[in-house]
Amino acid sequence: MSGNIGTKSLLAGLLLLGSSVSFAQKSQYNNHLAVGMYQVKNVDKFCLLIEKGSKKSASVQLLTEKGIELYGSNLPKNSAKFSQKFDITNLENGRYILRVKQGHQVINKSIELNRTLPKDLLSARTVSLLD
């Protein structure tokens, strides 16, 4: 009979341990922030994808290399996923910074534009999305 009590105590302990591990993972996911970018093929546009903690406020900024804000927006607080397409046709050649903030977490992505006009006046462009 005392073996049964030991088994029940062990099972109860494992269930409590499982609950606390599950809680820790859920809590960690709520603070999660991930940013992805890709260029839209053959045009001066890129797509931004963000996963953030639900019920957390976050913001997006597009800055010049000198830190001048060209675009700024607060993300919907109730949404865990967000995507937006950026048209960069009117931006000059140079380096830009895409900054995503959630609380103390900050993710910076670099964008480098280098467009040239060859002699035949066909636009040759290079867009580099860097980490």
Q: With a cut of 90, say whether residue 3 has pLDDT above it.
A: no
**What radius of gyration, in Å, describes the C-alpha atoms of the chain?**
23
Q: What is the pLDDT of residues 75-110, one digit of tens each?
A: 988 889 999 999 988 899 999 999 999 999 999 999
81-87, strands of its sheet edge to edge: 33-39, 45-52, 81-87
How far apart (Å, rounded) are the C-alpha atoms in residues 63 and 37?
Answer: 16
Res 125: pLDDT: 64
Res 27: pLDDT: 41
Whether the Cβ atoms of residue 38 and residue 86 lie closer than 8 Å to each other: no
Count of other CB atoms within 10 angstroms of residue 61: 16
Whether the Cβ atoms of residue 59 and residue 72 lie closer than 8 Å to each other: yes
Bridge partners, residue 50, by sequence: 35, 82
Q: What is the CATH number of domain 31-130?
A: 2.60.40.1930
All structural domains of the chain with their residue ranges: 31-130
Return the structure tokens found at 107. Answer: 């993710």
Phi-psi region of 94 (alpha: psi -120 to 50; beta: other; left: phi over 0): left
Can you give the pTM of this predicted structure? 0.65
More confident residue, 92 or 25: 92
- Binned at pLDDT 50, 70 and 90, residue 50 comes out as very high
Res 51: pLDDT: 93
Q: With a cut of 50, say whether residue 18 has pLDDT above it.
A: no
Q: Kindly state the average pLDDT of the residues 47-66.
A: 92
| Averaged confidence pLDDT in the chain | 76
Q: With a cut of 60, say whether residue 53 has pLDDT above it.
A: yes
Q: With a cut of 50, say whether residue 13 has pLDDT above it.
A: no
